[in-house]
Structure 1
Amino acid sequence: MTWSLIAKDVDGSIGVIVASKFFACGAVVPYVDAETAVATQAFCNPLWGTEGRLRLSVGEASTGVLTDFVRRDRGQAIRQAHMMDKYGEFAAHTGSECIDWAGHLLGVKHSVAGNMLAGPDVIEATSAAYLAGADLPFAARLIGAMQAGEAAGGDKRGRQAAGLVIHRGQPHAWLDLRVDDHADPLNELSRLWDVAQERFVHFANAMPDRARFSGTPTRHQIDEEIAMAEARRKAEGRGSRSHAVEFG
C-alpha cells in the first residue's frame, strides 16, 4: 500500500505527505520532528518510525539507522521505509516481498517511496512535480506533487486516505492534516489546506516555540492577520471552502 514524499524546504521546514487505499494512512506512516523525518509503510513497523526518529535526532546517519533496522527486523522483506537525517541525507529500503509495483527515488532535498502502485511513473511524476513546484507554498507544493503521482496511476487499488505533516524547526507540528476515509483524499487534503489558511495557520504562526516561550500572547495581531487574509480572499473572488456551520 501507499506512496509518500519526504521533503525539506528552503526555509528548513520538513514535511511528509502520504496517500493510500488504506484507512488512516496519515496516522501510521509519517514520523517527523524538528530536523528529521521517517515514513514507514507497506507492512509498516512503527518502531522504524519511533526509534528511527529518536536516533536520527541525536545525529545518527540515515543509512546506518536503516541498515540496522533491516538487519534486526525478520519482517524486513515486507517493509518499506525512507528517512531523512538531521544532515539532510536520505536513505530508503524497499523489501523484496513488497507488492509490485514497489520502489523508491532519492533526490537531493526530497525522497519518494511507494508500493502497490500502478507503476514507477507514480514516484517519478511525484518527484518531478515536487521539483517543478519551487514557487509554491511548501504545503501546496507537497500536495501538488502527490496529485501528479495520482494522475500517473497512484495506488493501483484505488483511493481512501491521505495525510500531511509539516514541522518548522520545533518538536511540535506546525501543520498536521489527515483525511482518513474519503473518495478523493488528496483533493480533500487540498481543501483542508485552503481552510487552514483562513484561521488556523495564523494561530499556528503565533504559537509559543523554543525561542519564544510565550509566543504571541495577545489576540490583536492574530485577529488582524485573519481579517487581512479574509479581505484578500474576498478581493480575489474566493469564498470559504470550510464545511463549518455557525450558530447564533
Structure 2
Amino acid sequence: MTFSIAARDGDAWGVAVASKFLAVGSVVPRVVPGVVAVATQAMARVAYLDELERALAGGADAADALAAATAADDGREDRQVGVVGATGAATFTGATCLHWAGGVSGSDDTSAYAIQGNILTGPEVVEAMESAWRAHAGAPLDVRLLAVLLAGDAAGGDSRGRQSAALLVRAPGAGYDAGGVLADLRVDDHPDAPLELSRLHGLSTLYFGTAEEVLPLAGELREEVGRLLAEAGHDGPVEEALEAWAGEVNLENRLSRNGIDTRVLDALRTGLP
C-alpha cells in the first residue's frame, strides 16, 4: 500500500513516504538523528520503530538489527520495513507482502538509503526512486528525499492511486529556531498527495529557511522596496519597515542585516502563496 525511502546524508536523517492510505505519516516513519531512520509499512508493525531504535542506539548494525526484529515477528511475511543506521542500511519484504513488492538498500562513507514499496505498479517504481537518489547527490536531504518520492510517483507509485504522503527530516541545528527539524510535513488526505507535499515543502523552505542570496538595499532596489512596503502599509525607514512587514507575514527568519533575501523580495513583489 506504500512506497518509501529511509535515509541519512551527512548529519541529516529522514524518511519520505506516500500511499493510498489515510495519514500514512502517522504510522510509517521514525527519525532519530545519529541513530536511526525507519519506515514500517505493508501490514505495518509499529513496534518495529521502537525495537529498531533501541537496537541501533545500542550499537547494532542496521542489517543485523532488522534481521533480529523480523525473526522475532510471526507476522513478518506480510510486512515490509526499511532501516538506516550509523552503520549500514537494510530493507525487508515478506514473502507474502502484497504484489508488486520489493526494495533496495545501499550505503557509502557519507550516506545510506533503504527504498521499499508494496502494491506498486511494478519494480520500475523502486528503480526510479533509486536513480533519483543517485541523481540528486549533493542536494539537502529534504530536497533529495522529495525528489525520490516524486520519481516513484511519476513511475507509477501505488497501483491503487494516491491519498497521503509525508516528509520527516532532522539535522542538528536545522529549521525553525535551530530546533533540528529540517522538514516535518504531512498530507493526510489529498487526491494528489505527493505533489501537494511538494507544494508544502516549498512553503516550508520559504518560511522556515534562512537568508540565502542577499541583495544590498541600495539605489533603485531600495526605492522599489520602500515603495512596495509603503503599499503594504509599512512606511518609514526601509530597514525598519521591512522588519515590521516580515514579522507580519512570518518571514522574519529570512531577514538579513546585509540587505534583502531574494525570496523575501519575490514575496514582496508578487505576494505570498
Q: Note the 1:1-248 alignment, pairs <5 A.
A: 1-9=1-9, 11-35=10-34, 36-87=36-87, 89-108=88-107, 109-169=112-172, 173-202=181-210, 222=253, 224-225=255-256, 228=261, 230-234=263-267, 240-241=272-273
Task: Please give the secondary structure, in 2, of the residue aligned with 1:123.
Answer: helix
Stretches of structure 1 lacking an aligned partner (at least 5 in a row) = 203-218, 242-248
Contact persistence 2:132–2:147 (CA under 8 A): yes
Q: CA deviation at 1:232?
A: 4.7
Task: Please give the secondary structure, in 2, of the residue aligned with 1:113.
Answer: strand
Q: Residue in 2 aligned with 1:205? A: none
- For 1:150 and 1:111, the matched residues in 2 are separated by 17
Stretches of structure 2 lacking an aligned partner (at least 5 in a row) = 174-178, 211-246
Counterpart residue type for residue 199 of structure 1: Y
- For 2:183 and 2:198, the matched residues in 1 are separated by 13
- For 1:90 and 1:188, the matched residues in 2 are separated by 29
Q: CA deviation at 1:86?
A: 1.8
Counterpart residue type for residue 31 of structure 2: V
Cα distance change of structure 1 residues 123 and 225 upon mapping to structure 2, 3 Å threshold: farther
Task: Please give the secondary structure, in 1, of the residue aligned with 2:161.
Answer: coil
Cα distance change of structure 1 residues 200 and 234 upon mapping to structure 2, 3 Å threshold: closer
Which deviates further from its counterpart, 127-136 or 174-183?
127-136
Contact persistence 2:90–2:106 (CA under 8 A): no
Q: CA deviation at 1:231?
A: 2.9
Task: Please give the secondary structure, in 1, of the residue aligned with 2:168.
Answer: strand
Q: TM-score by structure 2 length?
A: 0.75
Higher relative contact order (CA 8 A, sep 6+): 1
Which deviates further from its counterpart, 95-104 or 226-235?
226-235
Contact persistence 1:198–1:229 (CA under 8 A): no
Q: CA deviation at 1:239?
A: 5.1
- For 1:117 and 1:132, the matched residues in 2 are separated by 22
* Superposed CA offset, 1:67-126 (max 9, x none): 112221110111100101122x01111001101000011122222101000000001001
- For 1:5 and 1:182, the matched residues in 2 are separated by 20
Contact persistence 2:14–2:167 (CA under 8 A): yes
* Backbone CA RMSD of aligned residues: 2.6
Contact persistence 1:94–1:102 (CA under 8 A): yes
Q: TM-score by structure 1 length?
A: 0.82
Task: Please give the secondary structure, in 1, of the residue aligned with 2:119.
Answer: coil
Number of matched residues?
223
Contact persistence 2:13–2:141 (CA under 8 A): no
